[in-house]
Amino acid sequence: MKSAVIVFPGSNCDRDMAVALEKVTGVKPTMVWHQDHDFDAVDFIALPGGFSYGDYLRCGAMSARSNVMTEVVKRAAGGVPTLGICNGFQVLTETGLLPGALMRNAGLHFVCKDVKLSVENADTLFTADYMEGEEILVPVAHHDGNYFADDDTLDELEDEGRVAFRYLMDVNGSQRGIAGITNARGNILGMMPHPERMIEPALGGSHGRKLFTSIMNRLG
Amino acid sequence: MQKIDDTEITPEIVKEHGLTPEEYERIVGAMGRAPNYTELGIYSVMWSEHCSYKSSRFHLKKLPTEAPWVICGPGENAGVIDIGDDQAVIFKMESHNHPSYIEPYQGAATGVGGILRDVFTMGARPVANLNALRFGEPNHPKTKHLLAGVVEGVGGYGNCVGVPTVGGETNFDPSYNGNILVNAMTVGIADKDKIFYCAAAGVGNPVVYVGSKTGRDGIHGATMASAEFTEDSEEKRPTVQVGDPFTEKLLIEACLELMDTDAIIAIQDMGAAGLTSSSVEMASKGGVGFELNLDKVPQREENMTPYEMCLSESQERMLMVLKPGREAMAQAIFEKWELDFAVIGEITDTGKLTLTFGGEIVGDMPINSLVDDAPEYERPYVATPKREVADVPAANDLNKAVIDLIGGPHLCSRRWIWEQYDHMVMGDTIQRPGGDAAVVRVHGTDKALAICTDVTPRYCFADPVEGGRQAVAETWRNITAVGGTPLAITNCLNFGNPERTDIMGQFVGCLEGMAEACRALDYPIVSGNVSLYNETNGSGILPTPAIGGVGVMADSSKMATIDFKRAGDVVLLLGETKNELGSSLYQRELFADDEQNPSAPPHVDLALERRTGDFVRTFIESGQVDTCHDLSDGGLIAALADMAIAGGMGVNVTVENDLPLHATLFSETQARYLIAASAEVAGAIRKKANEAGIPAAVLGATGGKRLRVNDGAVDITMNKLTKAHAGWMPNFMANAS
């Protein structure tokens, strides 16, 4: 599986994402700089966490308008599997590839801790190796993870099985406890929790691994 | 329009710059003429307490700074130690006290930014941040606001930069009501053959400015940090710098990218006193002169004067000397990261710092006079009187005493704080906050660093020598308790006004104790910072020599943590418990010790400390022990409670000795550890301890849902204990502004 990790100025989980991808899939991803207009054909694109462009203006807003995102949007819309974690999720909502927005946490503080999630839909490219309803422990680390969308959009997400992960505790005030969603086609996942931080027992657990094996097993 | 500030030098102007009339005369003597306004400003910051260490230098020389594994001791941006495998650890701790009191968010944030730069300027990728925080008493009207702002600032900067904040400590004491302490520590890792120093070399080589533009922020920050506080100190808010962690992140990446080439001869961050101190430092270390053209300095504001440019403490800036001909390549890297890059001058053989502006020379000072001629004071001091040993009474209700302490401001969980810090980014934090020391893996290896910060200011106040010993020993113990081999320390020496003989006595005493401990534990000081004049309206803080310790472990899979892991493990206490309740948390919290005349703190037997710690460490390193906790504040019962709470499991112990039960439980005798292990392992440890002459007592076993001592003399449900421990800080901080 050939993958690319997009690096924005201010990304800071790009290395973590690359390490997780290499550890799980055995293949080093290509790191793609935000100013690049084009990059090699890949099977999978990852948008990492961090504070791209310092979170200035709005989290993810400036990255969404960077050179590289024009290409990412094109490819993702064309069906290339794309994952956005934390700031990557914020970028995906800012591009419009995923609906809704991530607002300031309800508690108004940055929150970094392990949280319990349920796998709401195990029939996606990203979650196939999990069981439906499986409870997993994955950390969050964000200031703006409070998922918001209007009721119609939320209903649509629920009806179409596009809520991939849901918090089992109140973390940030997200509507309906939404932690991660996919697009209608199912090739794009955005989530606030960090599965790439839970890939070995030394880091506190391995519950994040299956997300990467799911993608790998589907894409080969 | 450019303008040169030609303000006339009057005695008032001299005084405003924090210089005494004698010091001004010394400047005139050093220069052979009267300085102009810009030059006066430069001398004033270079000779400030903060930059020149004029009150502390004489005593700092007494600290042990060498060991075979020390690559670079104090004097550079940070200390460097060898951790084997051609790798080095670079670390330092620094204070940002006064700015954090005036403007907690930016003060704390720029404190983190500054210490990060000290570490990556030497070629290290920062891998961990820690912070040692002291606030006033909880019910002081400013405490909540300051705590909230400082935590937000530390997190705001560290989270964005993407360096995990993995540990630290937080204390409360009325002496910090008007002068909080924010001490930030950064630890980085570099290749041993790629360490960068600040000594400039090569006449004609370009001097390059990179990073953010220069603005008017932070002018006189170093001077402010060198004076006492008064009620109108809050008017000094404009002297607090404003940080931009996003730029810092870019600066880290750009600098490390350039460091991968062979272009850099010398590099130095612009910290306190900005462009001035960085260029003087580089020129002085290299024995050369600098000629700087101030018109070339990237500026954020219009009409800045040379004075303002030289004294600005705008953040996220670095100064470098490059090999000739490498400018274009270096510039391309900084442009890629969208940072300013400007050649602002060159190295000369004049031995002077020469500043030009608008074609005129606006400053011309001998470099050595700015550094070597700075005054050095051997200030008079009076040693702190010896204290009486206290006879501390028993609490009426032991259960209540335990709950009050565990569920009180001093021992309660700090989770509310560290959950606001990204402590996991970079993917190598294998022991998170809440234990004895944080453990961060050396990326891509099984090796790890154990890191912590400690000091017990109430001991330092009661007996500076014991307090100095204890601060060093406690970091050593905390690193040992996770299985690390302690290697070296950094320090942040926070004290009151050194012109007061009693304060100077505290300083000298603490340093004496620290030096002893460093020698006894083979644990040198490789970097540090001194922060004096921590006083408001004449009232000084508790002497607070914060120590940051770094250790290494070869096989991080063998690391120990404090949580009880298996029901039925035997709980073993190593080390002897004495009746040492003087200046203990128990005494202070429950019996209100006489604040001005505290009782004698526990004695630190450094040889015993070393023997016991080395003994404990062997069992962790061999993989036999995975559960260990050192004993410190709150004594045995606090350590048992910590382990039980962390493990979500009760414990039932019986203590037998000649002491009253309250002394056994709350005494803060040093050199003690608790271990939980299988009966077989515990038996083997006990046998070896007897052979080694180290007291070892089986106390009981883990399991159940209660913390129980001596058949119910203490008997608290884990539910109640855990709630008390977890609840204090969130409750306290609810509705903080």
pLDDT digits (tens, 9 = 90+) for B653-701: 999 999 999 999 999 999 999 999 999 999 999 999 999 999 999 999 9
- Using an 8 Å Cβ cutoff, are A135 and A116 in contact? yes
- Using an 8 Å Cβ cutoff, are A39 and A30 in contact? yes
For chain A, give percent helix, strand, coil, nearest 5: 30, 25, 45
Q: What is the pLDDT of residues B330-354, one digit of tens each?
A: 999 999 999 999 999 999 999 999 9
Interface list for B 454-493 with A (CB within 8 A): none
Contacts with A12 from chain B: Cβ below 8 Å: 160-162, 249, 425
Give A88 to chain B, closest Cα distance, Å. 14
Domains contained in chain A, number: 1
Q: What is the pLDDT of residues B96-138, one digit of tens each?
A: 999 999 999 999 999 999 999 999 999 999 999 999 999 999 9
The torsion angles phi and psi of A2, rounded to 5 degrees, stand at -90, 125
- The residue assigned the tokens 């340093």 is B511
Q: What is the pLDDT of residues B565-624, one digit of tens each?
A: 999 999 999 999 999 999 999 999 998 767 778 999 999 999 999 999 999 999 999 999
Q: Which of B337, B338, B420 sits opposite A110 (nearest CB)?
A: B420
CB contact under 8 A, B432 and A203: no
- How far apart, in whole angstroms, are the C-alpha atoms of residue B582 and residue B598? 8
Q: Which of B338, B426, B441 sits opposite A15 (nearest CB)?
A: B426
Q: What is the pLDDT of residues B157-214, one digit of tens each?
A: 999 999 999 999 999 999 999 999 999 999 999 999 999 999 999 999 999 999 999 9
CB contact under 8 A, A13 and B162: yes
CB contact under 8 A, B427 and A15: yes
Type of residue numbered B90:
I
Chain B within 8 Å of A20 (Cβ-Cβ)?
Answer: yes
Type of residue numbered A156:
E
Question: Given pLDDT bands bounded at 50, 70 and 90, which one contains residue A153?
Answer: very high
Contacts with A55 from chain B: Cβ below 8 Å: 160, 246
Q: Which of A16, A111, A202 sits opposite B425 (nearest CB)?
A: A16
Minimal CA–CA distance to B560: which of B485, B629, B615?
A: B629
| Mutation for testing the B interface, residue in A12, A23, A52, A206 having most B CBs under 10 Å | A12
For residue A132, the enclosing domain spans 3-219
- Using an 8 Å Cβ cutoff, are A10 and A51 in contact? yes
- How far apart, in whole angstroms, are the C-alpha atoms of residue A85 and residue A13? 9
Q: Which of A55, A141, A143 sits opposite B424 (nearest CB)?
A: A141
Contacts with B150 from chain A: Cβ below 8 Å: none
**Would you call B220 a catalytic residue per the annotation?**
no
HSE, side-chain direction, 13 A CA sphere, residue B497: 13
CATH number at residue A145: 3.40.50.880
Question: Given pLDDT bands bounded at 50, 70 and 90, which one contains residue B233?
Answer: low
Q: What is the pLDDT of residues B19-71, one digit of tens each?
A: 999 999 999 999 999 999 999 999 999 998 888 999 999 999 999 999 999 99
Pairing of strands B570-574, B651-653: unpaired
Chain B within 8 Å of A111 (Cβ-Cβ)?
Answer: yes
- Distance between start and end Cα atoms, chain A: 6
- Distance between start and end Cα atoms, chain B: 43
The residues of A annotated with a catalytic role in the active site are 86, 194, 196
CB contact under 8 A, A203 and B424: yes
- How far apart, in whole angstroms, are the C-alpha atoms of residue B74 and residue B91? 11
Phi/psi zone of residue B425: left (φ > 0), alpha (ψ -120 to 50 degrees), beta? beta
Chain A within 8 Å of B92 (Cβ-Cβ)?
Answer: no
Chain B within 8 Å of A103 (Cβ-Cβ)?
Answer: no
Chain B within 8 Å of A9 (Cβ-Cβ)?
Answer: yes
Contacts with A9 from chain B: Cβ below 8 Å: 246, 249-250, 337-338
Chain B within 8 Å of A185 (Cβ-Cβ)?
Answer: no
Instruction: Indicate whether this complex's ipTM tops 0.95.
Output: yes
Type of residue numbered B591:
F
Name the average pLDDT for chain B.
Answer: 94
What was the pLDDT predicted at B137?
96
